[in-house]
A = this chain, B = another copy of it.
Amino acid sequence: MRKQKITISVIGGSRITPQVSTLAQAVGEMVAQCDCVLVCGGLGGAMAAAAKGAKSAGGLTIGLLPGKHKTDANAYIDIALPTTIGYARNAMVAASADIIVALPGSFGTNSEICYGLVYGRPVIDLGDWKIKGMIPAQDVDQAREKIKEIIKKLQQA
C-alpha cells in the first residue's frame, strides 16, 4: 500500500485565454478533489489558474520555479521550490508527477509533454496536442475518470 502522496502536474501556457484559464481552474479543483497534490511550474497563466482551482477545493499546491526566489511564485502556491535551473526545470515538472495533465500551451508545455513521455508518466491530453503516447480526454470529467483509474493502480502497486 503506497504511503506517498500522489502528485499531478498540471502543465500549460503562461499566457492563456480566459477559456483556458477556466479549464485550468477546473482541472486544479479536480486534482484537489482527487486528494492529489498539485505540482506546477509556479508562475502565471495556466499554472496560476490551476493552483487557484486546487486551493479553492482545499488542496495543496507546489510550484517548481525556474529561478531562485520564492517570491516569483503565483499567489496560490503553498510550497514554493526554486529550482534555479531555468527552463531545464521542465524535466522536473514532468518527472515529479505521478500523472500529468496537459492544457493548451506553447513550446515549454510541449517540452514537458515530451519529458513526461520519455519518463513514462501518463500524460492526459486536455489541450488538443494529439501527440502519440498521450491519453486523450474530451473534458475535465473524462480526465477525472482516467485519473481515478490510474490512481487505483498506483495505490495497489
- Residues of A whose CB lies within 8 Å of any CB of B are 3-5, 7, 37, 39, 62, 64, 68, 70, 73, 75, 77-92, 95-96, 98, 107-108, 110-111, 114-115, 117-119, 133
Chain A interface main SS type: mixed
Would A114 and B108 be within 8 Å (CB), given that A88-B91, A92-B84 are in contact? yes
Q: Are A107 and B98 in contact (CB-based, < 8 A)?
A: no
Would A92 and B87 be within 8 Å (CB), given that A75-B3, A79-B4, A79-B5 are in contact? no
Closest chain B residue to A108 by CB distance?
B118
Q: Are B114 and A118 in contact (CB-based, < 8 A)?
A: no
Q: Are A88 and B92 in contact (CB-based, < 8 A)?
A: yes
Would A95 and B83 be within 8 Å (CB), given that A68-B119, A75-B3, A119-B68 are in contact? yes
Would A4 and B118 be within 8 Å (CB), given that A86-B86, A91-B88 are in contact? no
Smallest Cβ distance from A74 to chain B, in angstroms?
11
Inter-chain CA distance A95–B86, complex, in Å, is 12
